[in-house]
Chains A and B, each alone.
Chain A
Amino acid sequence: MDLRFTEEDLRFRSRARSWLKDNIPKTARPAHGAEAAQFDRDWQRKLYEHGWAGLIWPREFGGLGLSEVQQVIWYEECARAGAPHYINTTYVALMHAGPTIIACGTARQKADHLQRILTGESLWCQGFSEPNAGSDLASLKTSAVVDGDDLVVNGSKTWTTDGQHADFQELLIRTTPGSERHKGLTWVICDMSSPGITVHPIKTMLGDEHVNTTFYDDVRIPLTNVVGDLGGGWKTAMSTLAFERGTGFIGDQLALYERVNQAIRLAGKTRLEDGTLAIHDSNIAGRLALIKADTMAIRAMTLAQISEIQQSGNPGPKGSIMKLMVTGTSKSLSHLVAEILGWEFMEFNGDRTDHPWTYEYLWSWVYTIAGGTSEIQREIIADQLLELPRAR
């Protein structure tokens, strides 16, 4: 085992650090709405123009072809510099759609989409979950029939994050009539400006409208937009999710470390109702220390996972352990800070910038539910890592 970075990695780190220092936006990201989406596009455009977009994408598709270790270094430097968070309206395009098209797309799809994703020109949203198919994704019912050169889609999708801003959607639908479960599904590129699409915002308990329900009423999508095989959509979808559960959370893990240290400093200057400095309360100190240890372990686990991918070429089911740890630790942290802050925590106008800890607290459930609930992650660990018997 060896924790030393190569000379090349160290040079990359110093180049990233100095570029970020001079180039991070001077103004905060707007909390939501079209202004937020525009802010994200602008930042992505800037990254692209200065040669920081598509870090681990292959060079032939416009990426930088960097190593996973260098990607970790980049995210560490972003967290350190306070750069815009990479989970924003560009996330699905860069972390889902792009990698899926690279892995399963046609030459034409690659030419049409990859560069526009890297430049921030096109934003994407996800169309997997349905009102009656969430954790049990394979029970989805939104369907399409082939009519000439098109698929004609009817049904609805939900939890469509940033659907109101997206140009395209990765849409998973049933294309074989009467098919069940994982069979007969298709992964298709849906142009969000197509006639027959209606996007209905869902107001969440955070007070904002970042998720939607999307309705499809005879929406025509050309068959050339199918990624992977017609009827082979489950395989295409799993390559997307494996990517997210594998390395897609690296940036959060590292940003979490900065937040933990902020919380420790906060506990070092905040007095509890009885006048005790929060950090001198043994219960609070004990929980903070464990959260910090967990956060350090998450970084170690990220590095271990990269090393194992180097050895075996496959992140395996450990991505589920990572998701449980990152989202669970993040939740513990925001809930602990809620206690430390006392009444100050209750001041909330819905703005992430004004009241970051209250916002993080409310967001913590989104985190442990979205992208596969904690319960589903435990099922994956039990099935794939521990190979326990199944009831399903």
Chain B
Amino acid sequence: MFLALDPDEQAISDAAADFLVNEFPLERLHKVPRDISKLEAFAELGWLGLAAPESAGGSGLTIVEEMLFFIQNGRVAGPLEILIQVLAIAAAQSAPAVSESLICGKAGVALLVEQAADRIRLIGNADARYALAVSPRCASLFELNLANCQSVMCLDSSVAMYTGDGTMIRPVLEQAGGAVWQQAQIDVSAMQLGLAERALEMIVGYAKQRQTFGRAIGAYQAVRHPCADMAVRVETARSQLFYAATAFKEGHEDAVMQTDGARLLADRAAKLNTDTNIQLHGGIGVTDEHSAHLLLKRANLLGRLFGTSRQHMASLLDVAGMPREA
């Protein structure tokens, strides 16, 4: 029983932080609002195949290391295409040719976030050849005709969004079961946790500097107590996420419930911390030149991925002896 990072895990986390902070600092989004696709570079550095088996060209590590990477990714509102690619690789496990083109970064993937009878909505890679859809029951890969989709502006302007109709996609493969869905919950929770951590650090740094009424605002309980609550939300979400990822890795019976719990708490931490960060900054917090809004907008995007809070609640309320919902 050990629920803190061991030296190897710490090393992965530090390496991910080094890479992301140097290549994708949060502030980059003020200069170049949308990340240019760098899938092949990510592949060369090994970030796409962290948890993929070595036989498939991955590093053979686990969901725990993958989670640690995505916490760091969240901290800089990093490239979303890495998340989509990693999940697509997991979905394509049984199709070596497809999997290979994904793991070396040659074929990009967009994520299907809405799929109605007459309309689809995608986010992600601008050169995507495939579209990925993930549900609690299966993960599906489609061939994608992105050229004929319409590009639309996204609230999180670092992310490309497209709409089209059902003729834009054609099924390629389907993996039954909820494994990719669970993996997605852990990865998204990790990114949400990263955002929540970054928001806390941003306001704590400012609260030590900014003076009002003759003292630093961090000395006022109206500021320091909400900061303390932000720290509580971060620690809560982190502990649960570490537990859930480890339970998932070890194949625990309650891994789904643990993962759903982690998702609810990470979503809450990201939503409230990115909000409080802006509020406590005061006027500067609503300006475009400040980075606070970048965190808020990314949290809004991530909070919509892979299910609603209603779906994440169900496993937690499924206690022995409960009536089934009509």
Contacts from A to B (Cβ < 8 Å): 1-6, 9, 69, 261, 264-265, 268-269, 277, 279-280, 282, 285-286, 288-290, 292-294, 296-301, 303-304, 306-308, 310-311, 318, 321, 324-325, 375, 377-379, 381-382, 385-391
B325 within 8 A of A: yes
From B216, B252, B313, residue with most partner A Cβ within 10 Å: B313
Residues of B within 8 A of A390 (CB): 219
Whether A3 contacts B246 in the complex (CB less than 8 A), given A290-B268, A307-B4, A388-B218, comes out as yes
Nearest residue in B to A72 (C-beta to C-beta)? Answer: B1
A289 to B313, alpha carbons, bound, how many Å? 6
Nearest residue in B to A303 (C-beta to C-beta)? Answer: B3
Please state if A264 and B322 are interface contacts (CB–CB under 8 Å): yes
Please state if A279 and B1 are interface contacts (CB–CB under 8 Å): no
From A294, A297, A391, residue with most partner B Cβ within 10 Å: A297
Residues of B within 8 A of A297 (CB): 236-237, 239-240, 243, 261, 265
A391 to B5, alpha carbons, bound, how many Å? 35
Q: Which of B163-218 contact A (CB under 8 A)?
A: 200, 204, 207-208, 215-216, 218
Partner-contacting stretch, out of B26-34, B140-148, B223-231, B291-299: B223-231
Question: Chain B contact residues (Cβ within 8 angstroms of A): what range?
Answer: 35 or more
Whether A9 contacts B1 in the complex (CB less than 8 A), given A3-B247, A261-B319, A378-B224, comes out as yes
Contacts from B to A (Cβ < 8 Å): 1-6, 9, 64, 200, 204, 207-208, 215-216, 218-221, 223-225, 227-229, 231-232, 235-240, 242-243, 245-247, 250, 252, 257-258, 260-262, 264-265, 268, 309-310, 312-313, 316-317, 319, 321-323, 325-326
Please state if A69 and B322 are interface contacts (CB–CB under 8 Å): no
Show 29 residue pairs from A and B whose CB-CB distance is below 8 angstroms, ordered by the A residue: A1-B6, A1-B9, A2-B1, A3-B3, A4-B1, A4-B250, A5-B1, A6-B1, A9-B1, A277-B323, A279-B322, A286-B309, A286-B310, A290-B265, A293-B240, A293-B265, A296-B258, A297-B237, A297-B239, A304-B238, A307-B2, A310-B2, A375-B221, A378-B224, A378-B225, A386-B218, A388-B227, A389-B207, A391-B221
Please state if A290 and B3 are interface contacts (CB–CB under 8 Å): no
Please state if A3 and B225 are interface contacts (CB–CB under 8 Å): no
CB distance from A265 to the nearest CB of B (A): 6
Please state if A293 and B227 are interface contacts (CB–CB under 8 Å): no
Extra 19 A-B pairs, beta carbons < 8 Å, given A300-B243, A306-B1: A3-B243, A3-B247, A6-B1, A264-B319, A282-B310, A285-B317, A293-B240, A293-B260, A294-B265, A296-B257, A296-B261, A304-B238, A311-B4, A378-B221, A382-B218, A382-B228, A386-B231, A387-B208, A388-B227
CB distance from B4 to the nearest CB of A (A): 4
Nearest residue in A to B242 (C-beta to C-beta)? Answer: A1
CB distance from B212 to the nearest CB of A (A): 12
B240: contacting residue among A296, A379, A391, CB under 8 A = A296
